Amino acid sequence: MEHGSQTKLSLDKKKIGILLFEGIHASAVDAFRADGYTNITRHEKSLPEAQLLEAVRAASVIGIRSATHLTRRVLEQAQGAIAVGCFCIGTNQVDLGAAEEFGIPVFNAPFSNTRSVAELVLAEIIFLMRGVPFLNAATHRGEWIKSAMGSFEVRGKRLGIVGYGHIGTQVGLLAEAVGMQVVYHDIETKLALGNGQPAESLGALLESSDVVTLHVPETPATRNMIGAAEIARMKRGARLINASRGTVVDLDALAEALKSKQLSGAALDVFPVEPKTAGERFDSPFSGMDNVLLTPHVAGNTEEAQKNIGTEVAGKLIRFSNNGSTLGAVNFPEVSLPEHTGKRRLLHIHYNQPGVLSAINAIFPAHNINIASQYLETSAKIGYVVTDVETSDSALVTRLRDQLAAVAGTIRTRILH
Ligand SMILES: NC(=O)c1ccc[n+]([C@@H]2O[C@H](COP(=O)([O-])OP(=O)(O)OC[C@H]3O[C@@H](n4cnc5c(N)ncnc54)[C@H](O)[C@@H]3O)[C@@H](O)[C@H]2O)c1
């Protein structure tokens, strides 16, 4: 079954079916309910494909986390879906191209866990400066190493932040609060927050920092960005933290540097290859190294982050459902729309092909209708036109919507009252 050209009336909020999988946080449900959406079905887990295909048929809004795969086949069944919310960071589990073709925007929460990561990194900075990973391991073994050697306060020490984005800037502010000097390196020109200073270059940052922390995305340029040559440039005895992406650090080079005492400690939360399930074994070149703090990609995993994700994604879905705004959609032309009080809003999603806009705009004057405002945004594949009209004649708006739906290239239309 294909998503044909679809027309949708603005539904009563109570009738908009919201289908949530994988134990999405109660904050999402609270946000939907507070806005008047009460038709909510929750599943604690993802469903096997056969059941999923059945379940999505009646849904208007589908909320998932990472274990539910919204393939083209599943999306084809979701004939009534107006939007998908990924209540997580990644969106690889959704066929974004298919969703775009079907006129379904997909939303996620890329920055809800920023603070969680930044707090863990701050703790790691302090632990590494004090040698806590080593002391903890030794004490567990029954050793009593009561010494100040190699144990330092963080006050006055220099923190080098590579990647001064959402997380990098927060780490900088937290580190300054405990008296550290912050330098950062980014490929973009970034406004310094607090007393942070841009480093002249990555090399200059590496050479001068007591602790280096990485907060870059995974790109061809960041693959093995910190390898043997970069580690050799670091201050002898410095510490390295990676809670960004596993591919950014050459693990073998890091293990060598820790053995040779070029670096005195490291904290790693992400790895080039990570187990996909809890039962799968994790191996790394750091087994048995007491001065390395290893965590299983949990820097962003906190109760608060889950709660924030619930509120953020539900908020984006509610905005889209109520007023058509697609700000934050990962596969869709983004428009941030004002309220349309006293007007009727017509949404038109179409293939990005010549002639659609002029065909749309020929419809309104033919009915002597005044366009109050109009918004257009396109991607390579699709276009999204939002038109506010000044009329209270519901029958006329329905006729307009039907004519819009008949325009060649239309994917779907919707009226918002
Ligand atoms: N461990 C976890 O649980 C966890 C949680 C959230 C995010 N992350 C990861 O943390 C990283 C940072 O996330 P964010 O939200 O701060 O991202 P962001 O996009 O806000 O910031 C990334 C920064 O890196 C800069 N950058 C990109 N390429 C660079 C390069 N080659 N050299 C220097 N700077 C470069 C960008 O300009 C940007 O300022 C991402 O890789 C993200 O996947 C990990």
Tell me the C-alpha distance between 113 and 300, whole Å. 5
- Residue with the smallest CA separation from ligand 1 atom 41 is 217
pLDDT at res. 10? 55
**What is the reported pLDDT for 2?**
46
- Please identify every residue annotated as catalytic: 245, 274, 297
pLDDT at 1: 41
Give the model's pLDDT for residue 278. Answer: 82
pLDDT reading at 360 higher than 90: yes
Which atom of ligand 1 lies at the shortest distance from residue 270's CA? 1
Distance CA 413, CA 386 (A): 10
Q: Which atom of ligand 1 is nearest to the CA of 169?
A: 16
- pLDDT the model gives residue 15: 86
Better-predicted residue by pLDDT, 342 or 5: 342
**Does 319 score more than 60 pLDDT?**
yes
Percentage of residues of the chain with pLDDT beyond 70: 97
Q: What is the pLDDT of residue 5?
A: 52
Q: What is the mean predicted confidence (pLDDT) over 346-365?
A: 94
- Taking all residues of the chain, what is their mean pLDDT, rounded to a whole number? 94
Kindly report, residue by residue over 248-297, the tens digit of the pLDDT: 999 999 999 999 999 999 999 999 999 988 889 999 999 899 999 999 99
Q: Tell me which residue of 390, 377, 392 sits closest to 100, measured CA to CA.
A: 377
Ligand 1 centre distance from Cα of residue 302 (Å): 19
Cα torsion through 316, 318, 323, 327, rounded to 10: 0
Ligand 1, atom 8, residue with closest C-alpha: 244
User: How confident is residue 3, by pLDDT bands cut at 50, 70 and 90?
Assistant: low
Question: Measured between alpha carbons, how far is 151 from 132 in angstroms, rounded to an integer?
Answer: 9
CA dist., res. 151 & res. 144, Å (int): 15
- Which residues' Cβ are closer than 6 Å to ligand 1? 111, 113-114, 117, 162-168, 185-188, 215-219, 221-222, 243-245, 269-270, 297, 299-300
Helix, strand or coil, per DSSP, at residue 228: helix
Nearest CA to 236 among 260, 268, 266, 200? 260
For 35-91, write each residue's pLDDT tens digit: 999 999 999 999 999 999 999 999 999 999 999 999 999 999 999 999 999 999 989
d(CA 171, CA 164): 9
DSSP letter, residue 121: H
| SS3 (DSSP) at 366 | helix
HSE of 254, CA atoms in CB hemisphere, 13 A: 27
- Whether 9 has a pLDDT exceeding 80, the answer reads no
pLDDT at res. 33: 96
Q: Model confidence over 129-169: pLDDT tens digits?
A: 999 999 999 999 999 999 999 999 999 999 999 999 999 99
Of 297, 270, 299, 294, which Cα lies nearest the Cα of 120? 299
Name residue 249's beta-bridge partners: 226
Residue 188 DSSP symbol: S
What's the average model confidence in pLDDT over 14-25? 94
**What is the CA angle 163-234-229, rounded to 5?**
90
- What single letter denotes the amino acid at residue 190? K
Q: Across residues 85-98, what is the average pLDDT?
A: 95
User: Structure tokens of 383?
Assistant: 């276009």
Per-residue pLDDT averaged across 300-320, rounded?
A: 96
Q: How far, in Å, is the centroid of ligand 1 from the Cα of 111? A: 10
Asked if 393 contacts 369 with a C-beta cutoff of 8 angstroms, the reply is no
Query: What DSSP character marks residue 234?
Result: S
Residue 332 in this model has a pLDDT that exceeds 60: yes
CA of 73 to the centre of ligand 1 (A): 33
- 311 CA distance to ligand 1 middle (Å): 22
Cα-to-centroid distance, 201 and ligand 1 (Å): 17
Say how far apart CA 71 and CA 311 lie, in whole Å. 25
What was the pLDDT predicted at 291?
Answer: 96
φ, ψ for residue 153, nearest 5 deg: -70, 160
Q: What is the pTM of this model?
A: 0.88
- Coil, helix or strand at residue 196: coil
Task: Determine which residue's CA is closest to atom 30 belonging to ligand 1.
Answer: 187
Pairing of strands 181-185, 197-198: parallel
Report residue 106 as tokens: 């997909």
Distance of CA 304 to the CA centre of its chain: 15
Does residue 6 carry a pLDDT above 80?
Answer: no
